[in-house]
Amino acid sequence: MAKKLMKGCEAIGEAAINAGCRLFFGYPITPQNEIPEYLSARLPQVGGTFLQAESEVAASNMLYGAAGAGCRVFTSSSSPGISLMMEAMSYLAGAELPVVVVNIMRGGPGLGGILPSQSDYFQATKGGGHGDYRVLVLAPSTVQEAVDLTQDAFDLADEYRNPVMVVGDGLIGQMMEPVEFKRTISPEDLPPKPWATTGCAGRKPNIINSLLLNPEHLEAHNWHLHRKYQEMVKEIRWEDWLLDEPVDVLIVAYGTVARICKTAIDVLRARGIKVGLFRPITLYPFPEPQLSAAVDKAKKVLVTELSTGQMLEDVRAVVAGRKPVSFFGRVGGMVMTPEEIEHEVDKLVVQG
């Protein structure tokens, strides 16, 4: 298929259709409105349904209904809207329902701002809603990767019967890049879901539920979910960039921030400074052994994020005191420049 120039948000919408998804429930919020707008026109063309819900609370519970009935379904929102969906995320995880949720993150807390941010890392990777649960979290750094990961997210959600979240910042959603849709799945070709509520003809009724009043049953369910999350480590994805040789400074960054770092690294390398990049693509499960191996090759570690230091905590846990870890963050919708990254690396090199 030929490459097509598309805006990130629209490409994500088209990716969902290519993944065989024919249902979208959502509520407008900046900066991701192009996803629902695109799908409101596109889904009816392919026999699908777009529905603008009365709230993110309702939209996420519509997902719960549709996913329980065995449909591929997804929603997108941005930080304050994602917070409203956290109730349903907990129920979806508890009832083991596959859905895809896209968060085009904006600055917070509260209403915050509408410009790019990575400040929902904790919410995405540590559960977010109530109860002991996790969702698989994917973080693209290009529009093409956003397309590929969105399509993969549907398969992963079905495989693990668990919500999968794709987190991008406002930059990913708004920029245009050439993209290619590498595979197209028709809803008819998707594997059946015998657990779904499709009518009980010829079998016992199926029940979609997260209520387990017997504590022994709930404990068993919690450990069952935990084992599932542990199995997800085989889905870990990451990128090593210029890490074949030992480096003076290892930068750890994800999403579009990693691209800014690559620009800075090119300049630093041209100046003879040995710098490499480790980019987690799955934020949960976090690529712990892979990062640990990269840390072994570095003298110092620099974590940079559009937050005051959230992924930083996971990196510190992996480094475990072996190397010095420093942090550089911009927040509130402010985005770091390659020059700022260069400056931070210079400081670490000068310190020796």
Partner 1 sequence: MPTPIITKDLCKGCELCVHACPEGVLEMSTEINAKGYFFPVAAHPEKCTGCRYCLLVCPDTAIQIEAKGKVTVRTEGLTDKQFHYCPGCTHGVIHRLVAECLEELGIRERTVGVAPVGCSVLAYDYFNCDMHEASHGRAMAVATGIKRGRKDLVVFSYQGDGDLASIGMAETVHTANRGEKITVIFVNNAIYGMTGGQMAPTTLAGQVASTCPLGRDVNHAGWPIRVVELLQSLRTPAYLARVSVHDPKSILAAKRAIRKAFKYQIDGVCFSFVEVVSTCPTGWGMQPHESCNWLEENMIPYYPLGEVKTPETAA
| Footprint on this chain of partner 1 (rule: CB under 8 A) | 23, 25, 49, 51, 53-55, 57-59, 61-71, 73, 87-88, 91, 95, 197-202, 205-211
CB of 97 to partner 1, least distance (A): 10
Nearest residue (CB) to partner 1, 189 versus 245: 189
Nearest residue (CB) to partner 1, 51 versus 335: 51
CB of 76 to partner 1, least distance (A): 16
Nearest residue (CB) to partner 1, 59 versus 261: 59
Long-range contacts of 317-320 (CB under 8 A, 24+ apart): 317/288, 318/286, 318/288, 318/291, 318/292, 319/292, 319/295
Nearest residue (CB) to partner 1, 70 versus 287: 70
Nearest residue (CB) to partner 1, 2 versus 211: 211
Residue 115 DSSP SS3: coil
| The residue to which tokens 């329902």 are assigned | 97
Q: Retrieve residue 215's tokens.
A: 């504590």
| The residue to which tokens 């892979």 are assigned | 290
CB of 163 to partner 1, least distance (A): 14
Query: How would you classify residue 190: left for phi > 0, otherwise alpha for psi between -120 and 50, otherwise beta?
Result: beta
CB of 99 to partner 1, least distance (A): 10
For residue 326, the tally of other CB atoms under 10 A from its CB is 16
Separation of alpha carbons 36 and 27, rounded Å: 8
Nearest residue (CB) to partner 1, 212 versus 335: 212
Nearest residue (CB) to partner 1, 210 versus 326: 210
Separation of alpha carbons 9 and 182, rounded Å: 18
Separation of alpha carbons 138 and 176, rounded Å: 20
CB of 92 to partner 1, least distance (A): 10
CB of 185 to partner 1, least distance (A): 17
User: Apex CA 24: angle with CA 104 and CA 8, to 5°?
Assistant: 35
CB of 53 to partner 1, least distance (A): 7
Asked whether 50 and 36 are in contact (CB, 8 A), the reply is: yes
